[in-house]
Amino acid sequence: MKKLPSEQRKNIVAALKTLRTDGHLRLSQPCDCGSQVRHNNGGNYHAVAEFVRDSGAWYARKGTTYEYDESEWIESSIEEIEDYVREHADWIE
């Protein structure tokens, strides 16, 4: 469901605060499969992104619900991560 711009702004601010404070954030593409939910074996894959701070550096891993556990951590800048969060504001719950 598409959120109002004011709701998105509040969610972005809260998500970025969580990211900087806790050093961790996970975003998941909302499920829009309807009543026919057939994830993974049925071919409906949703994007997932996770960001973490470790030893002073920032890392990201992105994938789908099918391949997520196999994706690798890639060193990223905090600016790249914040841009990704802003671009995917509708993923923030």
At 38, list the tokens. Answer: 């057939």
**Tally of domains in the chain:** 1
- pLDDT score for 38: 60
- Cross-strand pairs, 51: 25, 60
CA dihedral 40, 43, 49, 55 (to 10 degrees): 50
Give the pLDDT score at 61: 92
Tell me the mean pLDDT in the region 10-33.
89
Task: Tell me what the mean pLDDT of segment 74-79 comes to.
Answer: 96
Q: Which two tokens stand for residue 72?
A: 């690798």
Answer yes or no: is 23 within a domain: yes
Q: Classify residue 52: in a domain, yes or no.
A: yes
Residue 87 lies in a domain: yes
